[in-house]
Structure 1
């Protein structure tokens, strides 16, 4: 017999209904027990979680921008974006900060960006702990180096970065639960915008204008670590990781020459770079040459493929081509191609 439907709007009414059903013999004891357990499960799922049971998402982004301001003075600016959301995606806290980049004599290539990213995370976790009094947090980052610092896979020789990592770990220990997630940049673009807008606002103060049109924000290519204007960086279509055109062009060329469709060079990112994008980023003659090689390779059966043994060549040929261009010799045994 099918279980009798239950109105879950009132716990007591539902329980009374189940008991009366059992007494009247309309259902078996097994059916009544099942319905009672189902009722409890439904009510538990509908019960709102308390702050101590709910996981809150912590998003952060720290950017560095090198600008030329009034009288050709070069200055370095910092922008930080922070957002904290509940489990439904509703934003509980959002802020941005800006300022001048503090000189770091201990810095290496890429150290500035990592340091500002960690400073943004310290800011975000400080708000989650001291201001919002959260107990459970999920920390989200798109920065591979920061992710590796926090998981212990990588250790920095930069004393400021090491001190910031220790500070982050100290704050994390105050939460009942914390977890770290490495996501694509496209999924946290809102904190990117907060950081970028903070830099624009700060730069405007130094160029003597309140108009954003007079401000050019630069970003760092994560391959060569050069700072370039945003328009000089290529955004991978799906994930939006950004690299300078020179670096991404070399990456695409190497992958295509290897016979592979290039992926985003960001570690652990599997976004593909489409053929149309490849065509735009390579010189026309280079693109045609690579594509011609790929087409020729496709027409050679796998069992007939032979590669030139010279380390600086490795050109692909077919066994038929090799035999045609190999001079006959009495020293060559039957079946030997003479390569």
Structure 2
């Protein structure tokens, strides 16, 4: 009978925290040992020592060492441990050698511990894995336990942004990265981001976690919460339409073709497309911008790049509800609200960078 192979998830973190006006490097780790179906059997969180809190790679490897030692103490013969850091994975699998001596020492210790198991394999961890998120929570909790102190019956923490001492219950924890700040600083972060039409990122330096509107329920007032939800919805649409625009420009620059919606992958030479379209429209001599895709058969306008609008100019069609509710119409409305404009020559969308950019732009097609 084959022995059960257990799964080990480890996460070490290093964070620069402010504790009573003193800035310190603080480390913590979380470990979870699971069965083959990822059901958690054992879990722990602990603070890392001062030497283990010097850098992130050291913390990651220290957490792994703690996890493997614990598995040996539990007499687990077969284990698989998962790394969400690609560098750590390459170190422990022998595909790369670390430059730092402290990191190299820990890599050797991991190798020695691996040799004590009958089977010990290292695999990459999925970022979306629930167990990885779980041990990350443990690591952040281990750090949080070191930066709080008690005043009477209340536990206090220092906000790393404003350096004010506030009750732990009044701190806001960013989902995903679990960095903690006072509510007042989070509100300011939201206000500044929305005023500049930017995503609301975690204020911690170097962190790329993005706050969603549902994360801020109970913190923001209903009006600001609605503004945040509207921005996120508009931003998602803008990202989608921008990707479509980029694909359109890429096709234009590389093939010189006119095309139907992005979903159709057929590209066509302009002259051939015009000749092909003439056979499907009654007034061939007055074809104008009418085109029919040679692949999917979609009828579109080559001038305004939307569906073909019979007996209607492009300007008139743009005023109809059909156009306004279309992806192209939504994109135009969004671009207008942000102050974007189309180049008169190549029709590419141009975005202004507020007061920081230059207003003089030369069309790229004219430079070629």
Q: TM-score, normalised by structure 2?
A: 0.47
Partners of 1:62 and 1:120 within 8 A in 2: yes
- Which residue pairs with 2:336 in the alignment? none
What displacement does 1:60 show?
0.5
2:110 pairs with one of 168, 176, 183:
168
When Rg is computed on C-alpha atoms for both structures, the one with the higher figure is: 1
- Which residue pairs with 1:79 in the alignment? 28
What displacement does 1:212 show?
3.2
**Residues 248 and 212 (structure 1), Cα distance of their counterparts in 2 relative to 1, 3 Å cut:** closer
- Which residue pairs with 1:123 in the alignment? 66
- The reply to whether residue 69 of structure 1 matches residue 11 of structure 2 is no
**Residues 89 and 229 (structure 1), Cα distance of their counterparts in 2 relative to 1, 3 Å cut:** closer
- Which residue pairs with 1:34 in the alignment? none
Q: Hey, what's the Cα distance between the residues in 2 that align with 1:304 and 1:216?
A: 52
The residue correspondences of 1:229-240 to structure 2 (distance < 5 A) are: none
Q: Give a deviation string over 1:29-80, Cα, whole Å, max 9, x none.
A: xxxxxxxxxxxxxxxxxxxx57xx110111111011111111x111121111
**Residues 94 and 66 (structure 1), Cα distance of their counterparts in 2 relative to 1, 3 Å cut:** same
2:45 pairs with one of 96, 104, 120:
96
What displacement does 1:154 show?
2.1
* Structure 2 unmatched ranges of 5 or more: 156-166, 190-201, 210-230, 258-268, 272-344, 347-366
Q: Give a deviation string over 1:153-186, Cα, whole Å, max 9, x none.
A: 2211111100000000000001111111112222
Partners of 1:65 and 1:219 within 8 A in 2: no
Q: Give a deviation string over 1:304-326, Cα, whole Å, max 9, x none.
A: 26xxxxxxxxxxxx999xxx99x
Partners of 2:83 and 2:124 within 8 A in 1: yes
Partners of 2:10 and 2:135 within 8 A in 1: yes
**Residues 173 and 302 (structure 1), Cα distance of their counterparts in 2 relative to 1, 3 Å cut:** same
The residue correspondences of 1:12-161 to structure 2 (distance < 5 A) are: 53-70=3-20, 72-99=21-48, 101-102=50-51, 112-129=55-72, 131-161=73-103
1:204 pairs with one of 148, 169, 178:
148
- Which residue pairs with 2:282 in the alignment? none
SS in 2 for 1:202: coil
- Aligned-residue CA RMSD (Å): 4.6
Hey, which of these two has a bigger chunk of helix by percent? 1
Structure number with the bigger relative contact order (C-alpha 8 A, sep ≥ 6) is 1
Q: Hey, what's the Cα distance between the residues in 2 that align with 1:173 and 1:243?
A: 42
Partners of 1:201 and 1:212 within 8 A in 2: no
Q: Hey, what's the Cα distance between the residues in 2 that align with 1:290 and 1:91?
A: 42
- Which residue pairs with 1:236 in the alignment? none
What displacement does 1:297 show?
2.6
Partners of 1:69 and 1:207 within 8 A in 2: no
- Which residue pairs with 1:304 in the alignment? 256
Aligned length: 213
Q: Hey, what's the Cα distance between the residues in 2 that align with 1:99 and 1:62?
A: 8
SS in 2 for 1:213: helix
Q: TM-score, normalised by structure 1?
A: 0.50
**Residues 113 and 206 (structure 1), Cα distance of their counterparts in 2 relative to 1, 3 Å cut:** farther
Q: Hey, what's the Cα distance between the residues in 2 that align with 1:165 and 1:206?
A: 38
2:133 pairs with one of 168, 189, 212:
189
Partners of 1:200 and 1:216 within 8 A in 2: no
What displacement does 1:87 show?
2.4
